[in-house]
Amino acid sequence: MTSAYASYPSLQGRSVLITGGATGIGAAFVEHFARQGAKVAFLDVDAAGAQSLLDTLGEVAHAPRFLRCDLTDLDALHAAIDTARAHIGPIAVLVNNAANDVRHTLADVDAAAFERNVAVNLRHQVFATQAVVPDMRQLGGGSILCLGSTGWMKKNAGYPLYAMAKAAVHGFVNGMARELGHQRIRINALVPGWVITEKQRALWLDAEGEAEIARVQCLPGYLMADDLARMALFLAADDSRMCTGQSFIVDGGWV
């Protein structure tokens, strides 16, 4: 079956900032927004991955701008956002995507590991949001997408601090929806299930994983990064103008 996917005229020329955009789900966000005619800037520490993405993207109306940035360094984050703004204009859409679901146990956790995990998976979402709110207020509105996860909802083992941080993302979204809504700024959680990226294939998709997908996912086949990107386009576009403070789960119907 062939599919024709939606185009969103309101995204043409719209300034979009994406964190963690070099590979995986983030790279799909960069590609899909660029192909909609948006002006995209993306942040990542992976310069090689970013260059590979840009090399394969082909011709688009506005070539995405890559900015190397360690998001756990808040000074670097603020400087990168300032640079992005200088290149693409006031930020109208923020996609808080960057995260790292590195496996660990509670016994592994010390104070440094705790701080590092929160910095990678949660803190930058708060401060990137804070940095772009004045832009969105200036523009008369905007859309913020905070990447959550179904992992903590399913009570998965193996990453308690990641689960904690991702649960907190939902609290942040709910806690900001009313305040930002009064300024016509929408904020939503985009919540992936098990997205089969190259990293997932390499590290965790084995025969047991294949069997689990077949057993508990309502829809057959793999959940892909493109599936998340298409939901992100809708939530960034004017089509979703009355959607805020919500969690949009894209997981293939995992039960």
Assign 75 a pLDDT band (cuts: 50, 70, 90): very high
Give the total number of structural domains in the chain.
Answer: 1
Let me know if 159 is a catalytic residue.
no
Let me know if residue 1 belongs to a domain. Answer: no
Choosing from 5, 8, 159, 162, which is the catalytic residue? 162
Let me know if residue 3 belongs to a domain. Answer: no
Q: What is the pLDDT of residues 80-98, one digit of tens each?
A: 999 999 999 999 999 999 9
Q: Compute the Cα dihedral for 220, 225, 228, 234 and give only its sign.
A: negative
The amino acid present at 57, given as its one-letter code, is L
Q: What's the pLDDT score for residue 209?
A: 79
Q: Is the pLDDT of residue 63 over 70?
A: yes
Q: What is the pLDDT of residues 177-220, one digit of tens each?
A: 999 999 999 999 999 998 988 887 777 668 887 888 889 999 99
Let me know if residue 6 belongs to a domain. Answer: no
Let me know if residue 154 belongs to a domain. Answer: yes
Let me know if residue 24 belongs to a domain. Answer: yes
Let me know if residue 139 belongs to a domain. Answer: yes
Query: The domain containing residue 120 runs over which residues?
Result: 11-248
Q: Report how far residue 57's alpha carbon sits from residue 35's, in angstroms, rounded to the nearest whole number.
A: 9
Let me know if residue 20 belongs to a domain. Answer: yes
Q: What's the pLDDT score for residue 88?
A: 98
Answer with the residue of higher pLDDT: 151 or 175.
Answer: 175
Nearest-Å Rg of the Cα atoms of the chain is 17
- What CATH number does the domain containing 244 carry? 3.40.50.720
Over residues 38-54, mean pLDDT = 98
Q: Is the pLDDT of residue 2 over 80?
A: no
Let me know if residue 25 belongs to a domain. Answer: yes
